[in-house]
Structure 1
């Protein structure tokens, strides 16, 4: 039609100029973007990728961080299988995890169910329960070291007042690990409470109301409506709390330093002790990668369970 511009064809010089200009503009935008993100990329490479590669190589060497290292292959890993101290650290870590993870989730769910109701000063109660979670493990360790001191601690003073014999607490090999679990529950349960509270408020009220109309009591409502709705949250908390428990270090370092008699030596403390106290960095790196492999297996297992959960629920229905 007259008056309309003629469309450009692929062989038109004007079209080629537009394509070249578009390519130059895109290259310029890419260069600008890389200029902005390159500092972050360098930080990530310098603080994560490079240390990971270096520590992997270190685990196959005999290195004291002072003299030149010597390649020993899998000797460090073979030595771990025969080391009774490493076996004890693994057992202590599993015992700590087996106690802390389910107890923190059960206590968190119970407190969340209570705090999800309309009661007076509920906001204050939620805050008080969450406050210990934001306190650093170092501060917690120092605080409870004073409270649980066998000679001058407040705990033994209270026990003496009610007629109970003094306890060793953190200095008793039979009690130390259990005390650490109790301290961790005091601080870590608040996180579970917050997560469960958020999940409980997302449970559809229509399901709860329908169950009540069908005559369901509180226990039936909890079992058949609330708990199934919390399944994704349970999987998340199980994974999160397990990873945190397997990596516990600072609380042990501040309170017991692995004692007494190695009863609280966990895997991460064992790694630190080998690398920076005994100066066997290669051996410590090998132990660290045993822990890393265990964490990967746990995360992979949780992911498989999470993927299969919808299929299982559908089959049940």
Structure 2
């Protein structure tokens, strides 16, 4: 049988130019459009599936945050403008709660006690923490044990600390007065003396809170470049000059963080006061947070307590915003100084 000639086909223009022609999809027998090729929208479908999976994992946490933080914040803000005793229906009083705070001598006393506590606790905790961190940054025997012993009090809860020191500082049967008696010192009232109660709380807070400062500062000291220290020593810098011109400048961001952190912590002290003194004697240890709790859950004036809570929140917001704003202004002024210096 003779061989048939091969049919001659014309080359498509797209193929000549190296462009691959996309196949045309014909409709099905029932007239419906055919399915899109599986690889065409696969990336979009995969992104939607990953997004849905991510939200499925995040949703429980979002609900918890909304239910335990956002909703109570909004509710307490509205409560601060109402007279509410948590039992009977509340009524709107506007800014009366805030006006009453400005004229309340007990709130003034709570603010004064909190300011005194903060003014003493913040510099002492950071100063002691820096001294201990410098001492523990050396290569000495059992340095790991010393670091652990200093940090352990920070791990103990404030409630446990309050119970422990309530026994130690008991004016009648406490171990502290027994030791003072051995040195010929008369018995002290500690938590029962209005002049000593706040200082006793301060001493307990320093015993427990200094360990956090030590750990943070010790980590910062170990990050100081060794080359800077060696260069300063070769230039003849002494120990004090080395601390002043090399170590302290590198610790400035960490010290700023500790200053803000310890201030916020001291303004929020509550559990230690609640376990030990209950705000007494004679209101000498009533701090702002304990005043808020007392007004809301002891005197059943929830609206008044919410107003005091938002006064504290405003103070904390100012403490958080002012350093950042000052840093932004300082950073904005530095380029101008560099430009002026270059022009000169």
Distance 2:164 2:88 in 1: 40
Measured at CA, do residues 81 and 7 of structure 1 come closer, stay the same or move farther in structure 2, by a change above 3 Å? farther
- Residue 79 of structure 2 corresponds to 58
Measured at CA, do residues 91 and 196 of structure 1 come closer, stay the same or move farther in structure 2, by a change above 3 Å? same
- Identify unmatched segments of 5+ residues in structure 1: none
1:277 maps to 2:291: no
Q: Is this contact kept in 2: 1:93–1:266, CA < 8 A?
A: yes
1:90 maps to 2:111: yes
Measured at CA, do residues 309 and 130 of structure 1 come closer, stay the same or move farther in structure 2, by a change above 3 Å? farther
CA displacement, residues 263-316 of structure 1 (integer Å, 9 cap, x when unaligned): 000000000000000000000000000000100000111222444566788969
1:224 to 224, 241, 245: 245
SS at match of 2:141: coil
Question: Post-superposition shift, 1:29?
Answer: 3.1
Over the aligned positions, Cα root-mean-square deviation in angstroms equals 2.4
- Residue 211 of structure 1 corresponds to 232
1:115 maps to 2:136: yes
Higher helix share: 1
1:179 maps to 2:179: no
1:99 maps to 2:120: yes
- Residue 201 of structure 1 corresponds to 222
1:254 maps to 2:271: no
- Residue 267 of structure 1 corresponds to 288
1:293 to 301, 314, 321: 314
1:71 maps to 2:92: yes
- Structure 1 range deviating more: 219-228 or 18-27: 18-27
CA displacement, residues 52-108 of structure 1 (integer Å, 9 cap, x when unaligned): 110000000000000000100000000000000000000000000000000000000
1:49 maps to 2:70: yes
Measured at CA, do residues 32 and 8 of structure 1 come closer, stay the same or move farther in structure 2, by a change above 3 Å? farther
- Identify unmatched segments of 5+ residues in structure 2: 1-14, 24-32
CA displacement, residues 184-219 of structure 1 (integer Å, 9 cap, x when unaligned): 000000000000000000111111111111111111
- Residue 152 of structure 1 corresponds to 173
**Paired residues, what number?**
314
| TM-score, scaled to structure 1 | 0.93
SS at match of 1:126: helix
| TM-score, scaled to structure 2 | 0.86
Distance 2:152 2:239 in 1: 30
Distance 1:220 1:214 in 2: 11
- Residue 27 of structure 2 corresponds to none
Question: Post-superposition shift, 1:241?
Answer: 0.3
CA displacement, residues 125-167 of structure 1 (integer Å, 9 cap, x when unaligned): 0000000000000000011110000000001111111100111
Distance 1:233 1:54 in 2: 36
Distance 1:100 1:15 in 2: 71
Distance 1:154 1:79 in 2: 44
- Residue 129 of structure 1 corresponds to 150
- Residue 20 of structure 2 corresponds to 6
Measured at CA, do residues 194 and 306 of structure 1 come closer, stay the same or move farther in structure 2, by a change above 3 Å? farther
